[in-house]
Every structure is written in structure tokens, then in C-alpha cells.
Amino acid sequence: MTRALGISITDADRSVLGPLAEHRILIVPQVALLLGVSEGAAARRLARLESAGLVHHERIFHRAPAVTWITRRGLDAIEHRLPQPRLDLRGYRHDVGVGWLWLAARAGTFGELTGLVADREMRAADARAAVAGRPVQYGVGLGLLGSHGQPQRHYPDLMLDTSGGHRVAVELELTAKSARRMARIMTGYASDASVDAVLYLVPTRALAQVVSDAARRAGISDLVHVQRIAPDGIAGASAANVRSTRRSTSRSADRGAVGR
């Protein structure tokens, strides 16, 4: 146990606060899986962290698990440099889904990994690199400049570094982007030699076709792999599902990476 900001923080607390820093939100079942405890025990720990001002913890939707996000005080307590996340109800389902994918990746669903980075950490790492005048590590260039003259970049939901030495971008695509935006993203992936494969996870056949068509038009059908997920499978994912899908996508993602 250590003390930070006058608060006693255990190793278990840090094992929650660290992942919360990397994600916009996590729900109670995800924290339970992370700690290897019951949902009740996870909820009690989160309530304790909330009473210390380290997290926000509340039920947003009726009959849905309570959601948690880290506060600035929580980030400072673990000396984390990421900005404080903000709850965005428009992206709630997607953020919950990314949390399950991150847990699945930790459990080995995508094979043995040497690196696993989520969107918030990628953006922060690239921002630090840009300030220091170093090349960015993660963002895929879109060939456009932002309002401040900085190159616009696209970030996948997860970036995986496999034990085979390949880099795989994982995209959870729950709704269709505009054709122009999708084309820019595909062109960005086509021109980025650091990404060996892109895995799109989509809930519908129509959306799978949209992604496949965009990849074909960009000439990277061999780079982009599309896999269907159950329409309600992300929000309703369980610990058992996360643990039991270890073999489902790891081989296809790494095979695609080798083909680059």
C-alpha cells in the first residue's frame, strides 16, 4: 500500500486506476474481470475510490451496469499524464465495446502480444512526440491539415504488437462513417508501412460490405480483414465470452499481418 495525495492506494486500486486512465469508461463487469473478483466486490472497490475522489461511478442507463471513469485527482494519484476522460453518451456503446475488446486482447484472443495500446494512450504518446519533434508512433496520416496546421491523423481503437513482430490495428465499427471519411482512413492505412494488418469488427453484413468495398477501392483488400460480431454481443459481453474466444481471431489477424 502506498499513499498519494494523502490517500492510501493499494496495488488492487492501481490495477483499476491504470486501465481507467487508458479508457474513457469501464463498466462494473469489466472491472470485476480485470480484478478477478465478483461484480459486488468490484462495485465496492469503485465506491471506495469514488469516496476518495479518484473516480466517478454511477448507473447511467436503467438495467445497465454502472459505469466508471477516472478523475483528474485519480490520474494525479497514479502520476498519469493523460488528460481526464469525459463521458460521452453518444459513444457509450462503442466505449463499452472497446473495453471488452481490450480485455479480450489481454486474455489472448488475438494471440500472444508484446504491446497493447488503446486510443487515448496513442493520441497522448503522439502528442508528446510531436512536441518533442519526434516521429509519431501510432496515428495514421489522412493527408489533411487541422485548424492549427497540424497533420490530421486517424487512430484505431486498439493497436496490437504481436509476438511475431507484426502491428495490427483493431477497429470496432458499430455505425457507418461517410464514404469520404472511410476513403481517407483506408488511404491512410494504405500509405502507412508500419501497420501490417487492420481488423474491422462489425455488427451487420451491410456494414461489413461497406468496409470491404472501401478497402477494395483503396487497393488494400489484402490488408483489411472484416469479422462479424453479434449485434448485441459487445454491450452484453460476459467474462466467459471474453475467455472463451481466445482462438477465434488470433490466427486470422496474424495471417493477414504476414501477408503485408
Hey, what CATH topology would domain 2-87 get? Arc Repressor Mutant, subunit A (1.10.10)
pTM of the model as a whole:
0.85
Residue length of the chain = 260
Domain boundaries, the chain: 2-87, 94-258
- pLDDT above 80: residue 240: no
By the 10 Å C-beta count (0-12 exposed, 13-18 middle, 19+ buried), 33 is classed as buried
Handedness of CA 125, 130, 133, 139 (dihedral sign): positive
Express each pLDDT in 57-91 by its tens digit: 999 888 889 999 999 999 999 998 899 998 898 89
Q: Cα–Cα distance between 136 and 153 in angstroms, integer?
A: 10
Q: Where are the alpha helices (DSSP H) in 111-247?
A: 119-132, 179-191, 205-217, 239-244
- pLDDT above 90: residue 49: yes
Instruction: Fill in the DSSP letter of residue 66.
Output: -
